Amino acid sequence: MAKDKQPQRPRAETPKGFRDYFGVEVIERKAMLDAIASVYHRYGFDPLETSAVETVAALGKFLPDVDRPNEGVFGWQDEDSDWLALRYDLTAPLARVAAQYRNDLPSPYRRYAFGPVWRNEKPGPGRFRQFYQCDADTVGAPSVAADAEICAMLADALETVGIARHDYVVRVNNRKVLNGVMEVAGVLDPSDPTRFEEARGIVLRAIDKLDRLGIEGVRALLGAGRRDASGDFTKGAGLSDSQAEVVIGFIEAKGATGAATVARLRELVAGSQIGVDGVDELETIATLLAAQGYGPDRIEIDPSVVRGLGYYTGPVFEAELTFDILDEKGRKRQFGSVAGGGRYDDLVKRFTGQSVPATGVSIGVDRLLAALRAKGQSQIASRGPIVVTVMDKERMADYMIMVGELRAAGLRAECYFGNPKSFGNQLKYADKRQSPIAVIQGADELGKGSVILKDLALGAKIAENASLEEWKSRPAQREVARVDLVAAVRDMLANG
């Protein structure tokens, strides 16, 4: 008779495309978000937390990959037959909130939001299915002054978290200008917005890949298509050479100054009213920013910025870090984009039937943290808690009192709760916790009314079989009166 199969144990592994965040990573992220929130708060924005789950209908069909709308979300059918999904960004939930609470919220409504989002996409190096976003948006303001303010606030946020001026640039463009260019090129019919829709989507994605493919790669995608080094073929927009040259002229329109760029864009969109409107808006944004001291060293007009999402209707912007880092092969490369956004005047309209102007920006939290680490600018020190060791388990109350005194003084502290028999293991634990100080009180110290403070930050790692005597013989330690515990620890930390 066959033996019953034992139940298979689950694999202890993170699902593909997801990751776990530990102590310092979580604290570091919070410190950065707190710094950004202080900037947003100063600009008059209020925090908002929305549900992680939305109806699929509310999320809409605005995923970055416009060829697969609604296929890139984690969704399921609820008991009442509604299809639900984890949010893929923080903007679609905002549109739902703005519509749902439109009679209660001030107009314009300024909000910021931080939190995880989920994309059901193929994971890859540095590409996860769950990641954090940090958004700020203004809903109900038709003036491009709101777009200019978002750009200024983004620049301030980057500098506040430690990205130095000249190490970043916020690049600004306008979808209306691009639409004007496509109208001139013959791939946009103002009387029938759905005509040439597929070709326009390919053009948008092609321009968005300029940094990676170069001008010739974009030119190929504007035409018949492009075959990459692996042999994979990507279908092109099917533009003629003359049509493609109009788009290429737009990409290369950036001049030595903002005024030169605007002048060139005016030439390219001549005859297209929407294009002219877009150029006027860019000029206004540049004027407003310059008046506040945000020059081209921080914020500049750049026609190559298009942004991939289909809901943008006007100004679009992207923050790019310009300093060099080393890739996995030791080669220098620029870090690239860490934030992006733009105007999306039709998103709330899906719920209300009425046009509601809106503009906003999203910061890629994990990418910005990675950039700060690459520059050696971690947001926090990786110092762990003070560890009070246990020399006599019968005196646990005494040790807990010490911990309580340290915590009451605002110091991070913990008592060792493992097996106290091996003092060496306690010291190795403190080392693994990156503790700055170990507090020791054995029978001798108790009799003298003192404690020993060991400065772990100055000591080497504990030897495998370290004993109490070896530990106490090291020079980086002090014996102080028990009543002076808190003051002595503070002094040691201050001078550590």
Q: Of 361, 347, 282, 397, whose CA–CA distance to 113 is shortest?
A: 361
17-75 tens-digit pLDDT: 899 988 888 988 999 999 999 999 999 999 999 999 998 888 876 554 444 445 678 88
> 154: pLDDT confidence band, cut at 50, 70 and 90?
very high
Angle between helices 258-268 and 241-251 (to 10 degrees): 160
Residues 356 and 398 in one domain: no
Specify the pLDDT at position 335. 78
- Domains held by the chain: number: 2
- What's the CATH number where 478 sits? 3.40.50.800
Q: Give percent of the chain above pLDDT 70.
A: 90
369-419 tens-digit pLDDT: 888 887 776 655 567 899 999 999 899 999 999 999 999 999 999 999 988
Residues 345 and 256 in one domain: yes
Position with higher pLDDT, 481 vs 336? 481
Specify the pLDDT at position 436. 92
> What tokens does 99 get?
């519509």
Specify the pLDDT at position 254. 87
Residues 296 and 367 in one domain: yes
* pTM greater than the 0.85 cutoff: no
Residues 312 and 390 in one domain: no
Residue 153 lies in a domain: yes
Specify the pLDDT at position 475. 54
Beta bridge partners of 86: 53
Residues 474 and 404 in one domain: yes
Domain that holds residue 406: 386-494
Residues 33 and 79 in one domain: yes
Residues 311 and 168 in one domain: yes
Residues 443, 447, 450, 456: what is their CA dihedral angle, to the nearest 10 degrees? -10
> What tokens does 70 get?
């609604």
CA distance 389 to 415: 6
Residues 412 and 290 in one domain: no
Residue 6 lies in a domain: no
- What's the CATH number where 177 sits? 3.30.930.10
> 189: pLDDT confidence band, cut at 50, 70 and 90?
confident
Residues 356 and 399 in one domain: no
Are the beta carbons of 69 and 61 closer than 8 angstroms?
yes
Residues 399 and 333 in one domain: no
Residues 103 and 61 in one domain: yes
